[in-house]
Amino acid sequence: MDRLPGFRDFYPEPLPHPDVWSADARQYIFDKWRAMARRYGFREYDGPPLEPLELFTTKSGEEIVGQLYNFTDKGERQIALRPEMTPTLARMIAAHERNYKKPIKWFAIPQLFRYERQQKGRLREHFQFNADIFGESDVAADAELIALLIDTLRSFGLSSNDFVIRLSSRNAWEEFFNQRCKDSARAYEFYQIIDKLEREQPPQSEEKLAKLDFSFDEVESFIETGQPTAELAAILNNLKARGLSDFVKIDYHVIRGLAYYTGAVFEAFDKKGDFRAIAGGGRYNNLVKLISGGKVDLPALGFGLGDVVLLELLKARGLLPQFDAAPDAFCLIEDETLRGESLKFIQDLRLAGCAVEYSLTPAKPDKQFKRAQELKAAFTVKVERNATGETCAKVKNLQTREEKSLPFTEAPLMLIARKK
């Protein structure tokens, strides 16, 4: 029996098969996301992986419907596995924002789902780092959010040689559109064409634009010569003060596919152009009002950073560390009459905070030692009885081969000291 197509199994390293994913790498990524969010003062939240279908269909633009992993539940409800976190977050904020001081800075690490027509190898779920700010309309919030994204990517060892944030403005595009077309109902269609500009052949885009009475040339010219809006200039200035100018550039190719963006928008790309966008986000000042049925009106902005492209990029740039069990100690039990004492010693070491492995059942000393080496244990430890019948702990550093006899109480200290 196999897992469902498009879903992933996460195994401990070393990985048994190219078809499975690393649980260690996943946790490594989550830990870095969480750590940087906290340094920036973001607080964690989460919502249900399942939501009423209408939370997504009525709020996120019609393009999302065909991609949703939706179904009818046993109670005849229309359900969707969340394809993105923002509608859930907007719902949660609308319900209880009054109890939180503004600006609200929150993050989450949800698993997200989609169900497109089957393509071989195409995933139907991924994890995403979501960070959002509510209640601040000043561009200082946009800069803070983009700085968080930059520093998150840097925390994996990625530099300004590896990635860049392409900064753009939905406002600038809206103005461009309104100057040339009075039918605002078609704006969304226009944004979709711009969003796909780099992925489609020029004649194809040209044809689509012509249907809306736009010329391909005027669009291209706007992208090439467009100046930063006052808003974007202020964001760039703020990032410059932080010393982050090298990580960001204006690029009007970016417009973001979803319907709800309202201001500055941005995407992170690898500089070699080997991968799809690493992350994307922007302002969505109207969404909370929309989701709350007009009851709550809060400016908002956020980004999403997925685990799949990031992992590919880190692999390609050689930035993933090696993941081992690497316990602090492996306890050798060479004398079975000392198994009871050894179990007590293991217990004490673990309660002191050390990760300890040992052979559950009697095994030859050389086999135990080999296992300690395979696991990349830092130390072997052993209970020994001396001539007068007293027991003590023998501790060996497997790197330096240095060996010491210690009273039991000192062994945990020695192992913990090593972790610093």
Contact pick of 344, 364, 385, 419 for its own copies (by CB under 8 A): 344
Contact pick of 181, 343, 363, 392 for its own copies (by CB under 8 A): 343
Q: Which structure tokens are listed for 407?
A: 């009273």
Q: From residue 129 to residue 148, what is the string marking binding to its own copies with x (rule CB under 8 A)?
A: -------x-x-xx--x--x-
Contact pick of 18, 29, 32, 45 for its own copies (by CB under 8 A): 45
Torsion of CA 29, 31, 36, 40, to 10 degrees: 130
Q: Closest separation between CB of residue 224 and its own copies, Å?
A: 31
Q: Say how many residues touch its own copies, by CB under 8 A.
A: 93
Contact pick of 18, 118, 366, 390 for its own copies (by CB under 8 A): 118
From 39, 37, 33, 71, select the one nearest 52 (Cα to Cα): 71
Q: Which structure tokens are listed for 378?
A: 């830092």
Stretch 365-384 residues interacting with its own copies (CB under 8 A)? 371, 374-375
What amino acid is encoded at 402 in this protein? Answer: E
Closer to its own copies by Cβ: residue 14 or 202 = 14
Q: Which structure tokens are listed for 186?
A: 């078609």
What amino acid is encoded at 329 in this protein? Answer: A
- Which conformational region is residue 418 in: left (phi greater than 0), alpha (psi within -120 to 50 degrees), or beta? alpha
Q: Which structure tokens are listed for 314?
A: 């880190």
If one asks whether residue 82 binds its own copies (CB under 8 A), the answer comes out as no
Residue pair 318/382 in contact by the 8 Å Cβ criterion: no
If one asks whether residue 416 binds its own copies (CB under 8 A), the answer comes out as no
| Residue linked to tokens 């048994």 | 16
Pairwise CA distance, residues 285 & 377, whole Å: 52
Q: How many residues does the chain have?
A: 420
Stretch 241-270 residues interacting with its own copies (CB under 8 A)? 241-244
Closer to its own copies by Cβ: residue 134 or 177 = 134
Bridge partners (DSSP) of residue 44 are: 107
Closer to its own copies by Cβ: residue 17 or 401 = 17
From 158, 179, 176, select the one nearest 168 (Cα to Cα): 176
Q: Closest separation between CB of residue 23 and its own copies, Å?
A: 5
CA R_g for the chain = 27
If one asks whether residue 157 binds its own copies (CB under 8 A), the answer comes out as no
Contact pick of 172, 265, 313, 346 for its own copies (by CB under 8 A): 346
Cite the beta strand spans of 232-355 per DSSP E.
248-250, 264-270, 279-283, 300-306, 329-332
| DSSP line for 147-168 | HHHHHHHHTTT--TTTEEEEEE
Q: From residue 321 to residue 340, what is the string marking binding to its own copies with x (rule CB under 8 A)?
A: ----x-x-----------xx
Stretch 205-244 residues interacting with its own copies (CB under 8 A)? 238, 241-244
Contact pick of 32, 61, 65, 115 for its own copies (by CB under 8 A): 115
The region of 185-193, 299-307, 342-350, 394-402 touching its own copies under the rule CB under 8 A is: 342-350
Closer to its own copies by Cβ: residue 361 or 386 = 361
Stretch 61-80 residues interacting with its own copies (CB under 8 A)? 69-75, 77, 79
Distances (CA, A) of 291 to 132, 158, 205, 264, 398: 16, 37, 33, 21, 59
Contact pick of 65, 277, 355, 392 for its own copies (by CB under 8 A): 355
Distances (CA, A) of 14 to 57, 110, 322: 41, 26, 9
If one asks whether residue 357 binds its own copies (CB under 8 A), the answer comes out as yes
If one asks whether residue 151 binds its own copies (CB under 8 A), the answer comes out as yes
Q: Closest separation between CB of residue 181 and its own copies, Å?
A: 32
Closer to its own copies by Cβ: residue 40 or 222 = 40
